[in-house]
Amino acid sequence: MRSIRREVSIILILCTISGVILSALFVNIAMNATFNKYMVNIQKQRNSRIVSYFEEIYKRDKRWTQNSGAEMMHEAYMSDYCLTLMDNSKKVIWGMNPNDIRNSNHWIMKTEGKGVYSSKTFPIKVDGKVEGYVMVGQYHAVILSEADINFKNSINQGIGLSALVAIIIVALLSLIVSKGFSRPIKKVSETSVQLSKGNYEFRSEIKSNINEINDLIKSINMLGGTLKHQNLLRRRLISDISHEIRTPLNVLQNNLEAMIDGIIPVTEDRLVKLNEEVIRFGELLNNLDLLKRFETEESSVSMKKIPLDKIIRGICKEFLNVAKENNIEIHTNIPEGYYMILGDENKLKQVFINLLSNSVKFNNKKGDIWISLDEEDKEIVARIKDNGIGIKKEDLPYVFERLYRGDKSRHKAIGNGIGLSIVKTVLDIHLARIEVKSEEGIGSEFTIYFPKDKRNN
């Protein structure tokens, strides 16, 4: 397996190498094409210069001799081409031997080996009359001088050098860039290992300027936070359950032992009190059972089209007496309407019972409860608000957790921390969401958003 760092470096270096190879290839192709054109032009100019030269010679001497234009031979030999002078009946007056230029070192040929000999014959015209011919022959279509070859080589050397510099720069850059990837990912994997070992305090403190990696760091840190919180809840749950069970058991045991030892007399009053403890004990187990049922019965819900307004109105009526006993007034704003949703009636009743009983339980004497139902764009919104003791800011995120109870010293009401987790479980089944706003000493507001039953619209 290879590291991200190595992989990124290899990719970047390979990209640079292929970029350099491609540009070298294109530069060479373009350069050769332009160079060849340029050389062909030069040769054309050379040929017409040779023809003009022989025309001038003929104009001067009016005839051809063995020496006519022989001085051109030196230039031809030095420039790697062959000249042959012929009269107007194409009889050779003088000519160079192609083999003489074959092995010359004056010029460096374009390719290895000397190529195929080819020649072109041009007429020498004086006053519009052809007086002779000159044949120009060479071994290559294009002849490059040493300077030309050097020029081409120096361009290729330049490309090679810039390739080397580019690769070194890219290698250094890739080390820095890949560090930006690998360091945070390494940190994240270290964090996940620590979390898996139960070290829930461990976090990735590193920052990255790559969005996706930053998201990854944030998510692993969030996961750490959630695991820490779950662990806290688990411990709290165990200690809560054991505390809840131990208290009635201790009372029972102490009293029964005292009765057996004859320290306290067995009276009906005492037996009733002990029985109350057994009942409380049983209630706790019932509540845990209820929660388990709500959580495991998720699949056995019977969803029907139900009128939410009627359900809430019915529950409010049931609560009127309890509210009155506690001097609490219930204000309802549930307009007559078509508040149909798809849901399980019994389970939804339990939601409103739990919320209303909390509003009563955590209210002040002469408190108020407001219940309203509204229709928004795609949702039906139910609000249960009270001006009771409110919820502490630090408790707010956890009120829907199983067995989570607020500070017990703040109220006399005895709860078991199950009501709101049942509410959440039921609402999840109904694809509804619940939000809570609360301020200590001011009151709480629970808002439920139900998706509208689309079949009604």
Residues binding ligand ADP (CB under 6 A): 354, 358-359, 362, 386, 388-391, 399, 404-406, 415-421, 444
350 close to 420: Cβ distance less than 8 angstroms: no
d(CA 415, CA 413): 6
The token pair at 53 is: 């030269």
Q: CB-wise, 267 or 327, nearer to ligand ADP?
A: 327
The nearer residue to ligand ADP, 79 or 372, going by C-beta atoms, is: 372
How many Å apart are CA 440 and CA 409, to the nearest integer?
A: 14
CA distance linking residue 322 with residue 26, whole number of Å: 91
CB-count burial class (<10 Å; 0-12, 13-18, 19+) for 301: middle
Count of CA atoms in the C-beta half-sphere (13 A) of 357: 16
Closest CB 420 distance from ligand ADP, rounded Å: 3
Q: What residue has token string 């890219």?
A: 170
Query: 266 φ, ψ to 5°?
Result: -85, 100
Which of 391, 426 has the CB closer to ligand ADP?
Answer: 391
Q: How far is the CB of 417 from ligand ADP (least distance, A)?
A: 4
Least separation, in Å, of the C-beta of 447 and ligand ADP?
A: 13
The candidate with the shortest Cα–Cα distance to 58, out of 158, 154, 132, is 132
Nearer to ligand ADP, 213 or 291 (CB): 291
Tell the smallest beta-carbon distance from residue 451 to ligand ADP (Å): 24
Nearer to ligand ADP by C-beta: 43 or 425?
425
Q: Are 170 and 16 in contact (CB under 8 A)?
A: yes
User: Measured between alpha carbons, how far is 252 from 254 in angstroms, rounded to an integer?
Assistant: 6
CB 445, min distance to ligand ADP, A: 9
CB of 322 to ligand ADP, least distance (A): 14
Task: Compare residues 322 and 342 and give the one whose CB is closer to ligand ADP.
Answer: 322
